[in-house]
Structure 1
């Protein structure tokens, strides 16, 4: 199949949705498909680039003022550019990764051209509040409006997926009335695998003391609630020699450093900064357990990577994280904001059962094999095509949006 993926974030952007889209595109290409990605330019100027066998159509971009490490496509001209791409490529299916500028244009042009549209939702308003500097008193209203916009775009798609059942339930609660399938983002089980014998060497490689280690991987931003992990350290330190390793960058790094210094644990909180993708597996190898306090995860790829490496997990009992942590089996959940409860859970892992819990984490991670996710998306693409296409191309009168609006036929037949 020829597949056009529309996304508003793609590496070198550092976030879960971007990484998932990269794995999806490269994985599909490795399976023999002709994959094209339309996304924002990483430098500003438009152009065509190649990521292995994937063709990247990078559109003119500008820096996101509220998030200096990211860029967004300049809205003016996006619709026309995507329309020309659709006309030239004649994809069998388009797959949008959000409801923002680029993805929205991909959905709309797919609808207009009569191309089947799949949409995967990675969106949570909480991930935007801090970056957009929305006052807390306005976040409820902003969240409702954002969800309404998301649902409007999702209604244009032929098929909608999300990473977890909880994320699918959330979308239904926000007003989306059609079926939603949970398809895991998936994990490379061969790249992230248990290597306990290499733990000391991994710590040495990062310049870390060889002591019990709790790791977090991700953006150092408000919704991740990393301050709770730091606040728990003094409580745990009364009994265990535990340190915290943070792999990532973000807006709250300075505040977190100051918090650690104020609590007297600066020597036990290590900021690794941005860790290149090829070095990322060693961060998990260096750790004894993984902890995450985020309340805005629709799946959490980092948690899956830690589990695949064989680490116990202590996580906030919020949104989709309980789908990954089987309380008492591969780790523990704690009530968000309950630092004392978090400390108790950390101690429970450190006192006993690390090996058994780590093995259980790996066992659960095996059900999230990224090859299984790729195969399911192939099935979905094949499933949506017959609703619009016959053996000789577009079936007249059958290409309509979910709302019943007829779509404009192509000017040339769709390749078989």
Structure 2
């Protein structure tokens, strides 16, 4: 989920599109009384690395820059609940048997709930549909404030975790999603692909398409000789000889990321001058290692294992082409990060990437081994063209993936939700989870 689109408003350039109505411009954040108080709730937070964590961290930073007072409610990595630097951590237990590194929040944390209610947020913005969503809904109902929700994950692509039947799994997801979102005041989605999906589920809440922005100061090409030397050192640490081209993938190693297909494509292309580097780790790594061995390409594949979030831009900078075959992305955030670091893209065709991959300009989408091999050769055998596509990828990221616009778009949703909700005197319920 680290997690997750002909230039329709389904990618980064679509800014705060509301399919059901036109959003008013954001009102002044800082009132004469106090800043707007926003509570972000998420089941995923540091030290986990995925697309949800990246999105929530970016949103938090941008809302603070806009003058909001922002706090986060998330799950602890253990049984103890605590509050640290504006982050409430609820005690939780492992749910790794269901999904790697997932956790379930404990039902009672009276002190945390009391602290949140005393702080009195103006908006609750939930980022997950499970443990912390229950808390988000409870807090919003108790204080009679808007509940905004971002739908990050296409769960029907994860049916292999909970259902032997994809058809039955999709029905479960449809019913579950419709029920959860019916209790919100507004729903934010990263692409038109997800918006169409939820409309098909029968979701009737206001849908706002707001792509996650990117910190373009952090995700950028190497600028200094020191950064270029660092990229060379990373290659050397993996035993990659000078002159070989690096096909890079940054992803959680899970079945739904479809990295089997990437290995298949690399085997069919059969280029001895390339090395595939899979940055990340996950439960599917043994299967991928076995597949690489069965394809006879073990010497052309490198697994980095877990990478610290702060180091991820370094790995992008050591690549030549970014590759992927996932069909479970809601936005394809890693593809956008790669573009911002100047990497052309070569990825499996998917609607969520339609505005990210401009065919023949920032990269290509492929269907089948023949297209993959042809496009890869076009990139690797023509250095001038690869350099042109690298600059085009960087320019597109700079033009369309501004984190500041992401923050402003979400703020507009908050202001609209507050304006629509009729003023009600908040009620205080007994402090219990």
**TM-score scaled by length of structure 1:** 0.86
Query: Which residue is 2:427 aligned to?
Result: 410
Is the Cα contact below 8 Å between 1:11 and 1:22 reproduced in 2?
no
| Candidates 54, 63, 72, aligned match of 1:37 | 72
Return the alpha-carbon distance in structure 1 between the equivalents of residues 106 and 167 of structure 2: 27
Is the Cα contact below 8 Å between 2:181 and 2:205 reproduced in 1?
no
Is the Cα contact below 8 Å between 2:41 and 2:74 reproduced in 1?
yes
Return the alpha-carbon distance in structure 1 between the equivalents of residues 97 and 342 of structure 2: 36
- Say whether 1:234 aligns with 2:267: yes
Q: In the TM superposition, what is the alpha-carbon distance from 1:201 to its structure 2 partner?
A: 4.0
Is the Cα contact below 8 Å between 2:62 and 2:407 reproduced in 1?
yes
Q: In the TM superposition, what is the alpha-carbon distance from 1:85 to its structure 2 partner?
A: 4.7
Query: Which residue is 1:298 aligned to?
Result: 330
Return the alpha-carbon distance in structure 2 between the equivalents of residues 90 and 99 of structure 1: 22
Is the Cα contact below 8 Å between 2:94 and 2:103 reproduced in 1?
yes
The two structures, once aligned, show a CA RMSD in angstroms of 2.3
| Candidates 109, 116, 135, aligned match of 1:105 | 135
- Say whether 1:143 aligns with 2:156: no
Task: Return closer, same or farther for 1:66/1:139 CA change in 2, 3 Å cut-off.
Answer: farther
- Say whether 1:165 aligns with 2:165: no
Q: In the TM superposition, what is the alpha-carbon distance from 1:374 to its structure 2 partner?
A: 1.1
- Say whether 1:252 aligns with 2:304: no
Deviation beyond 6 Å, 4+ runs, structure 1: none
Q: In the TM superposition, what is the alpha-carbon distance from 1:40 to its structure 2 partner?
A: 0.8
Query: Which residue is 1:225 aligned to?
Result: 258
Return the alpha-carbon distance in structure 1 between the equivalents of residues 128 and 351 of structure 2: 19
- Say whether 1:66 aligns with 2:101: no
Return the alpha-carbon distance in structure 2 between the equivalents of residues 313 and 383 of structure 1: 37
Q: In the TM superposition, what is the alpha-carbon distance from 1:129 to its structure 2 partner?
A: 2.9
Q: In the TM superposition, what is the alpha-carbon distance from 1:254 to its structure 2 partner?
A: 1.1
Moved more, 326-335 or 19-28: 19-28
- Say whether 1:384 aligns with 2:417: yes
**Could you list the runs of 5+ residues in structure 1 that have no partner in the other structure?**
390-394, 397-407
Return the alpha-carbon distance in structure 2 between the equivalents of residues 223 and 323 of structure 1: 22
Query: Which residue is 2:345 aligned to?
Result: 313
Secondary structure of the 2:354 match is: helix
Query: Which residue is 2:233 aligned to?
Result: 204
Task: Return closer, same or farther for 1:199/1:82 CA change in 2, 3 Å cut-off.
Answer: same
Q: In the TM superposition, what is the alpha-carbon distance from 1:292 to its structure 2 partner?
A: 0.9
- Say whether 1:243 aligns with 2:275: yes
Return the alpha-carbon distance in structure 1 between the equivalents of residues 285 and 337 of structure 2: 23
Return the alpha-carbon distance in structure 2 between the equivalents of residues 25 and 43 of structure 1: 24
| Candidates 44, 49, 62, aligned match of 1:27 | 62
Return the alpha-carbon distance in structure 2 between the equivalents of residues 222 and 340 of structure 1: 23
Return the alpha-carbon distance in structure 2 between the equivalents of residues 89 and 410 of structure 1: 14
Is the Cα contact below 8 Å between 2:152 and 2:190 reproduced in 1?
yes
Query: Which residue is 2:18 aligned to?
Result: none
Q: In the TM superposition, what is the alpha-carbon distance from 1:69 to its structure 2 partner?
A: 4.7
Return the alpha-carbon distance in structure 1 between the equivalents of residues 47 and 369 of structure 2: 34
Return the alpha-carbon distance in structure 2 between the equivalents of residues 97 and 360 of structure 1: 32
Query: Which residue is 1:289 aligned to?
Result: 321
Q: In the TM superposition, what is the alpha-carbon distance from 1:127 to its structure 2 partner?
A: 5.0
Q: Per-residue CA shift, 1:264-323, capped at 9, x if unaligned?
A: 211111111111122111111101110110010000211110011111101111241223
**Could you list the runs of 5+ residues in structure 2 that have no partner in the other structure?**
1-35
| Candidates 79, 83, 90, aligned match of 2:120 | 90
Return the alpha-carbon distance in structure 2 between the equivalents of residues 199 and 339 of structure 1: 32
Is the Cα contact below 8 Å between 1:166 and 1:320 reproduced in 2?
yes
Is the Cα contact below 8 Å between 2:269 and 2:369 reproduced in 1?
no
- Say whether 1:177 aligns with 2:194: no
Return the alpha-carbon distance in structure 2 between the equivalents of residues 307 and 192 of structure 1: 9
Task: Return closer, same or farther for 1:149/1:202 CA change in 2, 3 Å cut-off.
Answer: same
How many residues matched? 385
Is the Cα contact below 8 Å between 2:234 and 2:318 reproduced in 1?
no
